[in-house]
Structures are given as structure tokens and as C-alpha cells.
A and B are shown apart, each in its own frame.
Chain A
């Protein structure tokens, strides 16, 4: 019986971990092209979820709402790039860290003023009735999270490898200056990466909100764990985030089972600090050699 509870906790935790992995993947996208990330990514998740909920309130059918919400995410990602990241990167300063945080805070206060402070349920046609696999309960809703995460990450990876635009993306990630000499616009590629990371954030919002409800603070815990996943896996690790995300999600859910739910957030953060002590470039990261 004990082992059944443990595997139940581990499985549902791991499915939640996939959402952390997806957000962390969004960090990777922008980091690879511009060596910057959006510290307000959690607010993008939250704003996209609220926007999608509003679409549903207006009577838009669920399957039409999804592309609408994703487009809104792309728009937000581009806005963050234009307002916060571009100028700061041109100045070669680290002001973008603060700028993206401030844009996130502005987004947070906008959400509080537009949609209020309450948590709201997010209706979905996907059933939440449990199915049993080897005695472990899994809901179709949780399976939809897994499918959504893998489908989106797979599509983006395919896009990077198979299309010309995607190859430009890879070229800028590999060597910005050389790519520019080949006629690729690095600025546009950075824009593209921010758009994609906005898309990823919106997807995370739509996938997770039927499980967690929608509210201004819905993403503040998510984002910290996505940070942990991104740093532990390494920001250039590709699918490494999935492995770490699943591991962290399962670990977290087991911690809350044994130590009480208040400590739920702790293992990820402690894992982060420990992992950094051993491998500063991430578990799946490559060591970089720095030229002077």
C-alpha cells in the first residue's frame, strides 16, 4: 500500500514537473540567442491564462481559444523584447534583468486591476475523472499536460532543425557574429526567440490552469521552480530540462507527503544550490571556455 501511495505521488508530481520543464524550456530559447532571459516569464504565463479565460467567457469555443491564447503569449513575448531587452542588450549592460522584472511587476498590477485578485476556475472539456494504470490514478487532464508539453517542445525543436528560419536561429545561438556576417539578422532572431518563449509561456498557462486555477499569483511558485529546473539542467541542455523537471516534480510531491505541504517548495531550491556547487554549468550543460 505504501509503495502504491508513493508511486501515485511521484507520478502526479512528475506530470506537474513537466510544466516546470516547459517554462524552463522557454528560458533556454531566449538564452541561446541573446544570453538573456525574461525574469517576468511567470507573469506571461499568468496573463496568457487570464486572457484565455476571458476568451472562454466571451463564448469562444475551447479549441479556438487555444490558438488565441498562444498568439497573445507571442505578442507579450515580443513586447517584453522590444520594451525591456533590446536597448539594454545594445548597451551591453545587465539592466535587462531589472527591466524584465519591472515589466513583470507592471503586468502583475495590470492583471490585479483588470481581473481582480481572486483565483478563478478554468473550465476545460478534458475530463478530470481518474483512469487507473497499474493501480496508479491518472486523469486525462494530467495526460493532456504531458501531451501538450511534449508536442510543443517537439514542434519547436523540429522547427529549429528543419526550416530555414530555424537554422538561422541555431546559427545565431552558435555564433552571433558569424551568423551576422552570413546575412542573418541577429536582432530579428532574438525577437523570434522571445516570441517563441512567449508562446511556450502561454501554453504552460493554458495547460496548468485547469489544475491550479487562475489568479494573479498562480505563476509565482511555478516560475521559481522553472528557474531551478533551468539552472540545474543547464541553460543550453535541450531536453535535459525534461529529465530534471520530472525529477523535481516527483521529489516535491514526495516531500509534501512526508514533511507536510508547507515544505513543498524547499527541495527544488535546495537541489538548485547543491547542483550549482557541483556543476556550475548545469547537470546537462557544457563547460564553456572563456576567452579574454
Chain B
């Protein structure tokens, strides 16, 4: 028991960050599951974080209500953004959502209410570790149910071939916007929780590199099943600590090792690290695959 307390004292904040990153990765997973490559989810987290932070610090709104407001705000912005940009495919969507992220960052730097470049200060530390993991469990359950619902199958078919999906009578615009909005909601929720984990949030935390990191979590973990991004986010958030543990110190070498791991995974495991574990089960799965239930 003493060991456990010690462990939490040292790694408590890492465990919290892993939780937040897992949630953010899950938010991108929803968008990716409908084949839409978004680099805007970090910005949605920023919108959620700032909304919730401003509500608690300046208006004294209760914690849970401000979380909900942050998530809803992100979802509304996601919906409004989704209408024009989801007509784009592939690279173009990535570039457009990237630009959207920059707009949010610039707005956060220049507006008075967000505290400018120094960031928003004074959020009380309401977010507890158990609460983060409770939310992950709920979101994970929701996503695993969603996967086999009507919407989930529509997402899947849009990802495989959008033109064919719309020829089959699937309302692609509706389902793409739905996936985008759900993703924005989860990202906003994660951002709102993050805002109440630290005393401060700054515009830079929700910028380009954050957006890229989310994509890396999903691709490295595997974006075909909901626990892939969970695995990727947990592993890669902990990786700096692990590398430190085995003697790779901070600085250029760690960056290089990080980059190398990513290159290898992307080139040789297109379905992510999670596909390593799935390969063993293939015999069992292939029976189901004949009925169109298998994943790959």
C-alpha cells in the first residue's frame, strides 16, 4: 500500500496526462472511423478547455456543468465547421482543419477573455484521476456500441468507399458531420477536463504539434478498433518516461528514437500496433469475417 502511494506521488500526473490523451485520441478515432482525416481535434479541445475554464473562473459555474458546456461548445463549432469542410477529401480536409486549428490558436492569443498569450489562469483542480478513467470507460463503451450500430456501419462504409456508400443510399453528408461532431464533443470534454487539471492553459498547448500527436496516437495504436488509439495514446505518452528508464536521455536522441519508432510502425504496420495482437486471433475471426463481421 505504501508502494502504491509512492507510485502515485511520482507518476500521478503522468497517469492523468495519459488519461486525457487517451480521451483525445478516442475523439479523433471517431472522425477517422468515418474516413475523415481531421487535424482540428486539438483545437476542439482548446475550445472546450477555454469555455469551461472561463465559466468556472469568471462565472462560478459548477464543475460538471462547465464540462458539459465546454463539450457542447466544441460540438457546435465542430458542426458549423463540418458543413463546409467535410465536402473535401483526404489531404484537403487535413489542410483545412489544420488552418482551423490555427484560427483558434490565433483567436486565443488575441482575445482578452482567453487571457492572451500568457494563457488562462486560476482553474481549480477539480479533475480527479478516477473521474478521468470513469469518463474513458463510458466513452469507450459508447464507441464500442456505436461501432455495430447503424451509424457505425455507415461510418465504416464511408471510410471504405465514399462514392459507393452514397450510391448504396447512405446519407454521407449526415454521417460524416455526425462523426465529426461526436469527435468534437469528446475532444471538447477532454479539453475541459484538462483545463481543470492544471492551474493554467495556454494557446500553444492546442496547436499544430498537439494535433499531430493525436494523429500519431491513432495511427500507431491502430485506428480500426476503438482500443487501438487508447493503446497508442497510453504507450506514446508514457514512452518518454520508459525511454528515460532504459537510459535514453532527453534531447535530440529521444526525438530521433521517437521518430524512428513512428516511421517503422507506419511503414510496416499500416493497421497499427494493435494489429500485432489481432493477427493471432485471425483464425477465430475469419469465420465471422465471412459473414461480414470481421474488422479487417
Q: A231-B92, A273-B81, A273-B96 are in contact. Are A98 and B215 (CB under 8 A)?
A: yes
| A265 B263 Cβ-Cβ under 8 A | no
Does A113 make an interface contact (CB < 8 A)?
yes
Chain B positions within 8 Å of A, measured between CB atoms, are 37, 81, 83-85, 87-88, 90-92, 94-96, 98-100, 102-103, 106-107, 109-110, 161, 163-164, 167, 208-209, 212, 215-216, 219, 252, 255-256, 259, 262-263, 266-267, 270
List B contacts of A4 (CB < 8 A).
none
Among the interface residues B88, B92, B252, B256, which one has the most CB atoms of the partner chain A within 10 A? B92
Q: Looking at A37, A99, A272, which has the most chain B CB atoms within 10 Å of its CB?
A: A272
Contact digits for A21-39, partner B, Cβ 8 Å, 1 yes 0 no: 0000000000100011101
When the two chains form the complex, which single residue of B103, B267, B270 contacts A270, counting CB atoms closer than 8 Å? B103
Contacts of B95 in A (CB 8 A): 227, 230-231, 272
CB closest chain-A residue, reference B107:
A266
Inter-subunit contact B94/A97 (CB<8 Å): yes
If A97-B94, A262-B109, A292-B164 are given as contacts, then 12 extra A-B residue pairs at C-beta distance below 8 Å, sorted by A number, are A95-B267, A98-B215, A99-B267, A101-B215, A105-B209, A227-B95, A227-B98, A263-B110, A269-B102, A269-B106, A273-B103, A276-B88
Residue in B99, B103, B163 with the greatest tally of chain A CB atoms within 10 Å? B99
Task: Please name the 8 residue pairs, one residue from A and one from B, whose CB atoms are nearest each other, closest first.
Answer: A277-B84, A269-B99, A262-B110, A280-B87, A227-B95, A269-B103, A95-B266, A109-B255
- A132: which B residues are within 8 A, CB to CB? none
B160 CB, nearest partner CB in chain A, Å: 12
A-side contacts of B37, CB under 8 Å: 94, 97
Give the distance to chain A from B110, nearest Cβ to Cβ, in Å: 4
| Chain A residues whose C-beta falls within 8 Å of the C-beta of B83 in the assembled complex | 277
Nearest opposing residue in chain A for B88, CB measure:
A280
The docked-state distance in angstroms from the alpha carbon of A235 to that of B107 is 28
Query: Which residues of the partner chain A approach B164 to less than 8 Å between Cβ atoms?
Result: 292
- Chain A: how many interface residues by the 8 Å CB criterion? 45
A93–B90 Cα distance when bound, in Å, is: 11
Question: Using Cβ atoms and an 8 Å threshold, which residues of chain A touch B84?
Answer: 273-274, 276-277
A87 within 8 A of B: yes
Most chain B C-beta atoms within 10 Å of own C-beta, residue among A87, A102, A263: A102
Tell me, in angstroms, the Cα distance from A184 to B168 when the chains sit together. Answer: 38
Q: Is A224 an interface residue (CB 8 A)?
A: yes
Q: Is the CB of B266 within 8 A of A99?
A: yes
B259-A102 in contact (CB<8A): yes
- The CB with the most chain B CB atoms within 10 A, among A94, A113, A276, is that of A276
| Inter-subunit contact A262/B106 (CB<8 Å) | yes
Please tell me if the beta carbons of A36 and B110 are within 8 angstroms of each other in the complex. Answer: no
